[in-house]
Amino acid sequence: MLNDILQSIPQVLIDGLTLGTVYAVIALGYTMVYGILELINFAHGEIFMTGAFIGTAMLIVLTGIGWVSALPAIVMLITVLLLTALLTGLLGMGIERVAYRPLRNAPKLIPLITAIGISFLLQDLVRFIAELKKGNYIVTGPSLFTSQIKINSSAISSVFNDASIKSSFIIVLVSAIIMMVVLDFFVNKTKWGMAMRAVAQDRETASLMSVNVNKVISLTFFIGSALGGATGVLFAVQYGTIDPYIGFILGLKAFTAAVLGGIGNIRGAMLGGLLLGVMEMFASANLTLMTGGVFGAEYKDVFAFAILIIVLIFKPEGLLGKPVAEKV
Amino acid sequence: MKKLWNAYSENKLFQGVFLLIFIAVTSLSLYLAQKSVTAFLLLLSSLLLLYFTKFSNLVKWLIAGVILVVLLPAAAGGGDAFESYMEVATLVGIYISMALGLNIVVGMAGLLDLGFVAFFAVGAYTYGIFATGQASNFMPFGTYPLSGESFWLFIVLGCLAAALFGILLGIPVLRVKGDYLAIVTLGFGEIIRIIFNNLDKPVNITNGAMGIASITPPKIFGIELIYSSQFYYVVLIILVFTIFTVRRFEHSKIGRSWKAVRENEIAAQSMGVPLVRTKLIAFAVGASFSGMMGVIFAGKQTFVDPTSFTLLESITILVMVILGGMGSVPGVILGAAVMTILNLQVLAEMTNWLNELSSSGAITIPDALSPSKMQRLIFGALLIVFALYRPKGLIPAKNPVYKEEELVSSKVLDMKQDQKVQA
């Protein structure tokens, strides 16, 4: 049994990293908003989904235009990524303006409820736009970067099987890493990043130090949503088929990743995302084997939620977070 | 106009006469025009009118009882649409009961639960498994399916099973608060659904995604209950029991503890409210109503499968609570009734109407825009609008208000009496 598990490890690692980077970038959106407002932006998963749809729509349109499709695919993808990021960023800002800002001083339950409302609204809007245009809300994008690369991992040691990767995996990985590094630099090294950290620490004192709190919060939503939307495009390119309901379960898992790493902590979210992705892939590949067929791969979602519940019970501050004492 | 309104709201006789006329007209029109959904809805809305009259509580209950037990079935009973009206009324009852359960958890104890439908599922599967051959796959003794008479026992069992699950969920959840709680309950709801969806192996307990079909219908005095009009009365009895229980809970010691925990946990704890027990009771009580209705649902549909217990259902029940007013019993009843009718009658009617229009060629509405598919949009919009502009709901919860002077004067009186006794 151990042998079987070992053999599949290279493939599990690669698939896990692909999924993990997606989780990690979405988790960033949750963790940034939580760090600054102490609010779970439930609609974030839906922003990711909207990004995936906007990106796919653009790709479909662009590949239909003759001279554009002659361009290298990577140029097209980068344009689409940037445009989608801009649009979803604005969408995120708009959501904050309409649904969260008026409720900033309301009891905590209320913004959570508007967040659920927004997320349902977005799901259905995207559903009927897609259904109007395509006749079906499950959309398949144009296939780019489909060439398979074989990694000869059996050459390293004979216990491993060979693994294969789609070339889009490299694009997902590289763009996600670029996004994370740039974000880390932005938050830790620039003036706006400093303002964000100040607002996260103490909103009132920050505003006394002439930080424009509303602007900083808007900016946070813009960045988080732009990252989420761009990840949506990457997801669509990597996995091909999207539907309006992918955002919900993926967002939930990304949130799990954020909690796992320590919510409010940006590096924690990245770590949590990668860990969760690898663990989930490991579970879905090996659960059947490990439990002798009692539990199958269909329990992988249960597995992710179980991790969330266990982390919240035993280490609510997460792997990299610091425990906070509640002030009375 | 205002004068007239004032006269109306002051005068009981006026109200009584108006109510009587309203009920008479609507029930007559329902009796004569069997297909008129409007008449049916107006007859139901007479209950709302009744709520706002100035009669004493007993009189209100009696009138409501007459309307629901006699008048509604009699007025709807003349034509082919009878069963479909009763179906709607039964489902309204089921949802009201669930919303009242969720109201205890969310509205009174302030614990946002996004996986509430899981308890409904537990109740439904409890009866579903034992009232079909499913149970013989894993039970070492007994012959299954059980007979229809066991249904009445299962209402209690489903209630207990759901309460047990409520406590099981509550124990880990007690360490997390606020937003985290929402996510964990959401995860729990999904876990339950996935488990029911996959529990057809290694031992076939729930029959997986196929669902459990041909559940034995309940039986009483040798009569099998198969029609909605029969379930209507069962639901009505349980609903009255639920409302009564919830009312009693609300004004009891535990009810006040729930509200204290909702307002401020730390303050409540320092006033001697046991946090763990209070929250666990909230979860258990809220879940038990849902479990009871789950059993009835299974008996009525004679079929359960995991697709009836999705997140959308949990959110629907949450919308009912928020629309009506968190913590307010009459509000939640109104909210649940409005949402269920909107869902089952209004949206369906609109879809039919639009379909007729487009088939006659007047206008063409693409299939994607048909109203019955827009549930999510409508629920989402309702949640946002109500959270932003009317966070207290349609009928806000009333807390007893004590006037300071009255309290002081009564206290002074008490003290004087005490002194007299002592002297």
CATH number at residue A200: 1.10.3470
Domain holding A203, by residue range, is 2-146+162-314
Cα distance from A113 to chain B (closest Cα, Å)? 7
- The answer to whether position B88 is within a domain reads no
Q: What percent of chain B has pLDDT over 70?
A: 79
The residue-averaged pLDDT of B148-176 equals 81
Determine, yes or no, domain membership for B264: yes
pLDDT 10s digits, B381-397: 888 888 888 777 777 77
- Do B73 and B171 fall within a single domain? no
pLDDT at A97 over 80: yes
User: Which positions in chain A touch B206 (Cβ < 8 Å)?
Assistant: none
Nearest CB to A110; choose among B194, B366, B391: B391
* Structural domain contains residue A142: yes
Of all residues in chain A, the one with the smallest CA distance to B385 is: A114
Position A151 in a domain: no
The pLDDT value recorded for residue A156 is: 66
Tell me what pLDDT residue B329 has.
Answer: 83
For residue A94, name the pLDDT band (cuts at 50, 70, 90): very high
Residues B61, B105: one domain?
A: no
Average pLDDT over residues A278-291: 77
Q: Are residues B389 and B247 in the same domain?
A: yes
The per-residue pLDDT for A154 is 64
Identity at B47, one-letter amino acid code: L
The domain in which residue B2 lies consists of: 1-80
Distance from the Cα of residue B95 to its chain's centroid = 4
- pLDDT score recorded for residue B305: 82
Chain B residues touching residue A118 (CB < 8 angstroms)? 380, 384
Identify whether residues B321 and B248 lie together within a single domain. yes
Give residue-wise pLDDT tens across range B267-293.
888 888 888 888 888 888 888 888 888
pLDDT at A161: 66
Confidence of residue A91 (pLDDT cuts 50, 70, 90): very high
Q: How far is the C-alpha of A116 from the C-alpha of A132, rounded, in Å?
A: 24
Distance from CA of B387 to the nearest CA of A (A): 6
Number of domains in chain B: 2
Please say if the pLDDT value at position A129 is more than 90: no
When pLDDT is cut at 50, 70 and 90, the band that residue A325 belongs to is low
> Using an 8 Å Cβ cutoff, are A49 and A126 in contact?
yes
Q: How confident is the model at residue A182 (pLDDT cuts 50, 70, 90)?
A: confident
* Chain B residues within an 8 Å CB radius of A127: 368, 373, 376
Interface mutation target, options B102, B174, B191, B263, chain A, most CBs of A under 10 Å = B191
Above 90 in pLDDT, residue A254?
no
Report the amino acid identity of residue B413: L
| Predicted pLDDT of residue A84 | 92
Q: What is the SS3 assignment for chain A?
A: CHHHHHHHHHHHHHHHHHHHHHHHHHHHHHHHHHHHHCCCCCCHHHHHHHHHHHHHHHHHHHHHCHHHHCCCHHHHHHHHHHHHHHHHHHHHHHHHHHHHHHHCCCCCHHHHHHHHHHHHHHHHHHHHHHHHHHCCCCEECCCCCCCEEEECHHHCCCCCCCEEEEHHHHHHHHHHHHHHHHHHHHHHHCHHHHHHHHHHHCHHHHHHCCCCHHHHHHHHHHHHHHHHHHHHHHHHHHHCEECCCHHHHHHHHHHHHHHHHCCCCHHHHHHHHHHHHHHHHHHHHHHHHHCCCCCCHHHHHHHHHHHHHHHHHHCCCCCCCCCCCCCC
Residue B330 or residue B397, greater confidence? B330
Chain A residues 40-99 with a CB less than 8 Å from chain B:
40, 98-99
Question: Per-residue pLDDT averaged across A128-152, rounded?
Answer: 74
With cut-offs at 50, 70 and 90, classify the pLDDT of residue B412: low
Distance from CA of A192 to the nearest CA of B (A): 28
Domain boundary among B46, B80, B114: B80
As a whole number, the mean pLDDT across chain B is 78
The answer to whether the CB atoms of A305 and B381 lie below 8 A apart is no
Asked if the structure places residue B415 within a domain, the reply is no
Mutate to test the interface with B, among A124, A252, A314 (most CBs of B within 10 A): A124
Q: In percent, how much of chain A has pLDDT > 90? A: 6
Q: Which of B48, B80, B112 is the last residue of a domain?
A: B80
CB neighbourhood size of B226 (10 A): 14
Say if CB A37 and CB A224 are below 8 A apart: no
Q: How confident is the model at residue B127 (pLDDT cuts 50, 70, 90)?
A: confident
Q: Do B309 and B194 sit in the same domain of this protein?
A: yes
Is pLDDT larger for residue A73 or for residue A45? A45
Maximum pairwise Cα distance, chain B: 92
Give which of A84, A30, A80, A27 is closest to A221, Cα–Cα.
A30
- Where is average pLDDT lowest: A163-167, A183-187, B313-317, B419-423? B419-423
* pLDDT given at position B144: 66
Q: Do B172 and A309 touch (CB under 8 A)?
A: yes
Sequence-ordered list of residues with C-beta below 8 angstroms from that of B217, at least 6 positions apart, any chain: B148, B224, B225, B226, B299, B302
Residue B222, pLDDT score: 67
Q: Is residue A218 part of a domain?
A: yes
pLDDT of A163 higher than 80: no
What mean pLDDT is predicted for residues A258-286?
Answer: 84
Does the beta carbon of A326 lie under 8 angstroms from any beta carbon of chain B? yes
pLDDT of residue A291: 66
Minimal Cβ distance to A316: which of B110, B176, B191 = B176
A301 min Cα distance to partner chain B (Å): 8
Contacts of A308 in chain B (CB under 8 A): 183-184, 187
Decide if pLDDT at A153 tops 90: no
Phi-psi region of A136 (alpha: psi -120 to 50; beta: other; left: phi over 0): beta
Best-predicted range by mean pLDDT among A64-68, B70-74, B200-204, B288-292?
B288-292
Quick one: closest CA in A to B198, which residue?
A298
A248 or B70, which is more confident?
A248
Q: Which of A114, A302, A306 sits opposite B387 (nearest CB)?
A: A114
In this prediction, residue B125 carries a pLDDT of 85
Q: Give the model's confidence band at A87: pLDDT under 50 very low, under 70 low, under 90 confident, else very high.
A: very high
Last residue of a domain, one of B16, B47, B80: B80
Give, rounded to a whole angstrom, the gap between the first and last alpha carbons of chain B: 59
Residue B308 lies in a domain: yes
Query: With an 8 Å Cβ cutoff, are A309 and B187 in contact?
Result: yes
pLDDT of residue A86: 93
